[in-house]
Structure 1
Amino acid sequence: MLYGTPALEAADKTVLGEIEDMRRDLKYRLAEPHRWDGQLRRQLQARAIQGSNSIEGYQASVEDIQSIMAGDEPLDASAAIAKEIAGYQQALAYIGLLSRASAFRYDVGMLNALNFMMIGHHRNETPGIIRPGGIYVRDSSTGEVVYEGPDAELVEGLLGELVLWLNEGDLEAPSYVRAAMAHFNLVSIHPWRDGNGRMSRALQTLVLGRDQIMTPEFSSIEEWLGEQRITFEYYDMLGAVQHRRWSPHGDTLDWVRFCLRAHHMQAQRVRQRLAQAGEIWTLLEERVDAEGINTRCVSALYEAFVSRRLRRSRYQADEELSQGQAARDLRDLAAKGWLRPYGQTKGRYYEAGPRMAALKADFAERVTPLRDPYRS
């Protein structure tokens, strides 16, 4: 027996309708290709990876995550953290492919494989293998047991039931609700010795991807959940609905509402970023054109605008340049005050120079606060 899908109330249906309106608007805007789309998608994916891993205590900057995604050495993240990030990025990349696969069914083998992709470097945790014994989730600060998973002999059957439900259960329910319940049931079954939280959040993203809500980077709520205050709320909500142990007979509406709120808030944020991306790119094009700078440099300036730092290798790959061309462009932009270089050789990177910093400060004052849909 799994935790059941709740019936929505009027307020939930209103919030759900607003989420779907925002997603349709995003799909419409993304249907027309733009120069900044690739960088925006990469940023969103990096932020999702950062969010889900930070919940588990694996901290890395968005810039380092983008370097790891590109196969480069991170500047700050340790080798151990880089392995966590790379494993999760590999799993999310596979989820992106599965979201578009024409022949697809959920099965336990696929879930085990995703778990292995995420934590395969922790061989002592038997990645991709169902846990052989009991499992207890403890509060990291007190050591108190906050959740006890189902007995080990029940796990295989529960995973089979979950897979059957993913393929055939509650298909009439809204995708956001099904995705939230997939997340909740998997994290409550806690079938592996490690990686259960990240797996559950990734499964939520896959369910939405399979239902063609959006591509994974635009439908994920992992960035939102990774914000510190939201992470506390996330754990509090799991604890309140789980009642500290496997007991699949309680009401799950509060959990679904928590997820709907997260989708609404993240959709507002992504819509703002998409609108801002076009405005920023157009403004930078005007500036480089006025100064006689090659228009390809806009992608470097845009990266410096939306990120804390820019590396030559990323600009080189984005514009398909030689190492020499990319290095010359960045030196010229630094000489003109758009960028400021730091470090040497492989460790060199660029941050916003005084002229870019002024533009960023102007945009920072124009950010619209997000609206909590359940409080309005």
Structure 2
Amino acid sequence: MHRPPPGEYRTVSTAGEPFRAFVPAALPPLPPIDWNPALRRRFDDALVALGRLDAVSTLLPNAALVLYSFIRKEAVLSSQIEGTQSSLADLLLYEIDEQPGVPVEDAQEVSRYVAALEHGLARLRGGFPLSLRLIGEMHAVLLDHPQGRGKTPGEFRRSQVWIGGTRPGNAVFVPPPADAVADCLGDLERFLNDVPESTPPLIKAALAHVQFETIHPFLDGNGRIGRLLIVLQLVHDGLLREPLLYPSLFFKKHRPLYYELLNAVRLQGDWERWLDYFAEGVEQSATQAVATAKQLLALVDQDRDRIATLGRSATSALAVLQALQRQPVTSAAALVKATGLALATVNRMLVQLVDAGIVSELTQRQRDRIFSYRAYVDALNAEL
């Protein structure tokens, strides 16, 4: 279906140069989405895949430990879309106060993404609504690092921004002028909360993501907050009990198409192609997450059986193994904190786990050594 752009262009002037800024119309789209049979099937398949993923959080043992890793995986992927070089191993090293293999600023940025998502989840579970205030709070957490503090963390922008180009006059896309941001965000907040009408959660997530990125309400961090909101809203609306989905894997793999389709909505009102892409991404991401979760838990079961043969050491070694699922790149000091075991006991267990081929020592130094639950990390890194 050919439809006009879902909004209007306003002519604005900065430094004497006129340009056109796009102000999106409120959701849901008008005219309505063309729900052809293929698009309906795509969303049906995505919902089935999400249901299987949601079951992981209740049917698999130690799902909370898998969740810890999956949140970090999404943080790494979403940040890589924005240009950071940090890997999952870099983030895990940073979290135990070790030097990552990339500039520490990159690892800091990824770590703040994790903190922003965890803050949002905690607030929702405490009864706080999915709201502009919550989005602002998460943005403040996201930008709470030296490079972010000059970009008005937690505050919606009061100046013009643009995407691509050197100025609004030659930009690829110019979001709404600052004086239109509050109204656009108010409309989006109402849509997220099913006012004036209810929208199925997965469709809502797809539409709201485009709208948020089009409004571009912050000076920095819009892409990461926009992708974070996808998972947060699916949890809020009950499609997922836990944020086990990492959609940024699909977006990163198909990054040029991701940006092309966002622009196609703004320029041509082509919601259908975006919705098809989004639903495919959710289906693939959810299916891969289920497979990875099962692979991780099968690995742990296999290693637990091997540890059971260690005799009197088995109980302490199992405690270390459980801690390694939460922090698969770690140090003896971090394991002492995680397990409550004495340092001498932890060191003795690490020697046994290295000898058993379960753990690898990464640093080859006498003190402050770093260890990796290598097979676990490799499984998490398989698609990165």
Same-fold call, TM cutoff 0.5: yes
The match for 2:47 is 20
Counterpart Cα distance in 1 of 2:152 and 2:100: 30
Contact 1:87 1:118 (C-alpha < 8 Å) held by counterparts: yes
Q: Output aligned runs, 1:225-304, within 5 Å.
A: 225=251, 227=252, 229-243=253-267, 250-292=269-311, 294-298=314-318
TM-superposition CA deviations, 1:276-325 (whole Å, max 9, x none) = 23322222122222344515535656887999844334544443323332
Contact 1:90 1:118 (C-alpha < 8 Å) held by counterparts: yes
The match for 1:11 is 38
Which residue identity lines up with residue 322 of structure 1 in the other structure?
A: A
Counterpart Cα distance in 1 of 2:203 and 2:361: 47
TM-superposition CA deviations, 1:69-96 (whole Å, max 9, x none) = x563443243312331232122101121
The match for 2:331 is 311
Q: Output aligned runs, 1:86-235, within 5 Å.
A: 86-102=111-127, 104-121=128-145, 122-138=148-164, 145-169=171-195, 171-225=197-251, 227=252, 229-235=253-259
TM-superposition CA deviations, 1:203-225 (whole Å, max 9, x none) = 22221111121145313413432
Which residue identity lines up with residue 52 of structure 2 in the other structure?
A: D
For residue 44 of structure 1, report the CA deviation from its aligned partner: 0.3
Contact 1:180 1:259 (C-alpha < 8 Å) held by counterparts: yes
Contact 2:46 2:280 (C-alpha < 8 Å) held by counterparts: no
| TM superposition score normalised by structure 2 | 0.79
Counterpart Cα distance in 1 of 2:132 and 2:335: 40
Aligned-pair identity (%): 21
Contact 1:115 1:127 (C-alpha < 8 Å) held by counterparts: yes
Q: Which has the higher contact order (CA 8 A, sep 6+)?
A: 2
Contact 2:112 2:143 (C-alpha < 8 Å) held by counterparts: yes
Q: Output aligned runs, 1:352-363, within 5 Å.
A: none
* Equivalent position to 1:30, from 57, 63, 67: 57
The match for 2:371 is 350
* Equivalent position to 1:47, from 73, 92, 96: 73
For residue 48 of structure 1, report the CA deviation from its aligned partner: 0.7
Counterpart Cα distance in 2 of 1:151 and 1:255: 25
Counterpart Cα distance in 2 of 1:296 and 1:231: 45
* Equivalent position to 1:80, from 105, 110, 116: 105
Contact 1:95 1:206 (C-alpha < 8 Å) held by counterparts: yes
Count of aligned pairs: 349
Counterpart Cα distance in 2 of 1:276 and 1:44: 13
Contact 1:150 1:189 (C-alpha < 8 Å) held by counterparts: yes
For residue 180 of structure 1, report the CA deviation from its aligned partner: 1.4
Counterpart Cα distance in 2 of 1:13 and 1:346: 58
Change (3 A) 1:152 1:32: same
SS at match of 2:314: coil
| TM superposition score normalised by structure 1 | 0.80
Change (3 A) 1:19 1:146: same
Contact 1:187 1:197 (C-alpha < 8 Å) held by counterparts: yes
SS at match of 1:8: coil
Counterpart Cα distance in 2 of 1:260 and 1:179: 10
TM-superposition CA deviations, 1:129-182 (whole Å, max 9, x none) = 222222111179xx9732211122211111111112222347543211101111
Counterpart Cα distance in 2 of 1:27 and 1:360: 23
TM-superposition CA deviations, 1:215-274 (whole Å, max 9, x none) = 45313413432x3x322322222223223xxxxx71312212211111100111111122
For residue 188 of structure 1, report the CA deviation from its aligned partner: 0.3
For residue 185 of structure 1, report the CA deviation from its aligned partner: 0.5
Alignment RMSD: 3.3
TM-superposition CA deviations, 1:344-373 (whole Å, max 9, x none) = 367522246xxx77x999x99xx9x9xxxx
Counterpart Cα distance in 1 of 2:100 and 2:367: 9
Q: Output aligned runs, 1:324-343, within 5 Å.
A: 324-343=344-363
Q: Where does the alignment leave 5 or more consecutive residues of structure 1 unmatched?
A: 244-248, 370-376
SS at match of 1:137: coil
For residue 39 of structure 1, report the CA deviation from its aligned partner: 2.6
Counterpart Cα distance in 2 of 1:240 and 1:277: 39
Counterpart Cα distance in 1 of 2:343 and 2:170: 53
SS at match of 1:168: coil
Contact 2:246 2:289 (C-alpha < 8 Å) held by counterparts: no
Contact 1:48 1:220 (C-alpha < 8 Å) held by counterparts: yes
The match for 1:372 is none
Change (3 A) 1:284 1:10: same
